[in-house]
Amino acid sequence: MTGTLIETEDRREYKATRRRDLAVDLSMALATILAALAIGFVVMLVTGNDPVEAYGAMLTGPLERSFRVGRWLEDATTLTLLGLSVAIPFRARQISLGAESQLYAGALAAAAVAIFLPLPPVVAVVVPLVASAVAGAGMGLIPGSMKARLGANEIVATLMLNAIVVRVYDYLVNGPLKEPGSSAVHSKSIQQDSALTPLRDWFGIPLGRANVGLLLMVLTAVALWLLITRTPLGYRIRMTGSNPEFAEYGGIRVPRVIEWSFVIGGAVAGLAGAHLVQGVYGRLEPGLAGSLAFEGIVVALLARNNPLVVVVAGLFYSYLRAGGDIMEQQTDVGTEIVVVIQAVIVLLVTAQALPDLLKRRLARKQVAAR
């Protein structure tokens, strides 16, 4: 009986530690964001703008009208999917910068099916989504196996793939897939049945281009969270990330795990591409993703690669983006200040020794005070 007593005590202690860690993580994230906003405040002040007015517009703007809420949610869907897509390889300590290539491959696959393949309703939505995930996964497999089987640097491999796929995409949109007879550069529109249902059909209020992709995104996040925390593969990914040699020693086939992390991440980034095609634009546009792929990395970092937290971070980050645009319309402050704030967040998050440094200084002060 004493064994069970010790067990319960151990469990209680473990749970207390988990709670404490979570509290520390959350307060760190909050402190990081506040510090970044404070730096943005100073930058605006120094450059002769009114930071109070600007932040007012930025932080209340996105909620003022329903279609602005829609813009925010639509942007958050894509961004969070991209954040999730890099969070998985990051968990296996693989620096995959390939979300861009995976997104464009996914967008192409989704568009190819949704434009050219006549399918019955419902199936017409699902098949392009699956196609995009497969295409994205394939695009993740290339750098994944190069890293896992040959030890090729995954950063360079993913960057090169990005460069290739972006150019091929550009060629296809300007050439073979360009809508004939149209003066603007874009593909034909997808079939009606393939579109992701816009949310305004459900809620009856104008929500811009926000669509059921939002739900899909949340489901993906939950699925990935379950994968990471509750399945053997998730365990292997975490082990590989925290100590590859120990994982290998413990009988985990590290190369295969690395490949899987790239494939899963690729599939999710492919879905982000499908969301842009089937939910947002309804066709292929040049430069579909903008700088979103790299900003997905920021979201994953801010969330410390925890899939559920990625959703929160993605929503927050998109809120800043949406707010930035409104701020620019209402005040004279450029929306680019948002990018500066984001950059500061990244730098603060990665400066791991910073909290320790602060703590040590505080401790020293306390000692001096005594």
Partner 1 sequence: MSAVLDVVLSSAFLAAVLRVSTPYLLAAFGGLVAERAGVSNIALEGQMLSAACTGALVAGYSGSVARGALCGVGVATLLGLLLAALRLELGADVIIAGIGLNLLASGGTAYAVFTLLDDKGGTSGLKSGSLPAVPLPGIESIPVLGDALSGQNLVTWLALLTAPVIAWLFYRARFGFHLRAVGEMPDAAASVGIPVRRVQYTGLALSGALAGLAGVFLSMGYVSFFVRDMTAGRGFIALAAVFLGGLRPWGVFLAALGFGTAEALAVQLGTLDVPPQLVSTIPYAMTLVALAVYAWRRTRQTGGEVAAAA
Contact positions toward partner 1, by CB under 8 A? 43, 47-49, 95, 146-153, 155-157, 159-161, 163-164, 167-168, 170-171, 174-175, 244-245, 248, 254-255, 258, 291, 294, 297-298, 301, 334, 336-344, 346-347, 349-354, 357
The number of CA neighbours under 13 Å toward the Cβ of 206 is: 6
User: Cβ closer to partner 1: 195 or 288?
Assistant: 288
**In whole angstroms, how close is the CB of 245 to partner 1 at the nearest point?**
6
User: Cβ closer to partner 1: 52 or 150?
Assistant: 150
User: Cβ closer to partner 1: 81 or 157?
Assistant: 157
Q: Tell how far CA 254 is from the center of its chain.
A: 25
**In whole angstroms, how close is the CB of 79 to partner 1 at the nearest point?**
14
Which residues on neighbouring strands pair with residue 178, listed in sequence order?
187
Which residues on neighbouring strands pair with residue 368, listed in sequence order?
none
Q: Within a 10 A sphere around the Cβ of 11, how many other Cβ atoms?
A: 10
**In whole angstroms, how close is the CB of 190 to partner 1 at the nearest point?**
23
**In whole angstroms, how close is the CB of 261 to partner 1 at the nearest point?**
11
User: Cβ closer to partner 1: 47 or 182?
Assistant: 47
> Nearest CA to 70 among 330, 328, 339, 318?
318
Query: Are the beta carbons of 145 and 94 closer than 8 angstroms?
Result: no
**In whole angstroms, how close is the CB of 275 to partner 1 at the nearest point?**
23
The b-or-e profile of 27-58 (16+ CB within 10 A means b, else e) is eebeebbeebbebbbebbeeeebebeebbebb
**In whole angstroms, how close is the CB of 55 to partner 1 at the nearest point?**
15
Q: Which amino acid is at 165?
A: V
Greatest CA separation found in the chain?
81
Count Cβ atoms within 10 A of the Cβ of residue 294 and give its class: 0-12 exposed, 13-18 middle, 19 or more buried. Answer: middle
Q: Within a 10 A sphere around the Cβ of 313, how many other Cβ atoms?
A: 26
User: Cβ closer to partner 1: 64 or 336?
Assistant: 336
The number of CA neighbours under 13 Å toward the Cβ of 4 is: 1
Would you state the structure tokens that stand for residue 308, as one six-digit string?
A: 């559920």
**In whole angstroms, how close is the CB of 316 to partner 1 at the nearest point?**
16
Give the span between the Cα atoms of 156 and 143, in whole angstroms: 9
Positive/negative CA dihedral, 164, 168, 171, 173: negative
User: Cβ closer to partner 1: 164 or 205?
Assistant: 164
**In whole angstroms, how close is the CB of 282 to partner 1 at the nearest point?**
24
User: Cβ closer to partner 1: 56 or 334?
Assistant: 334
Q: Tell how far CA 316 is from the center of its chain.
A: 12
User: Cβ closer to partner 1: 76 or 257?
Assistant: 257
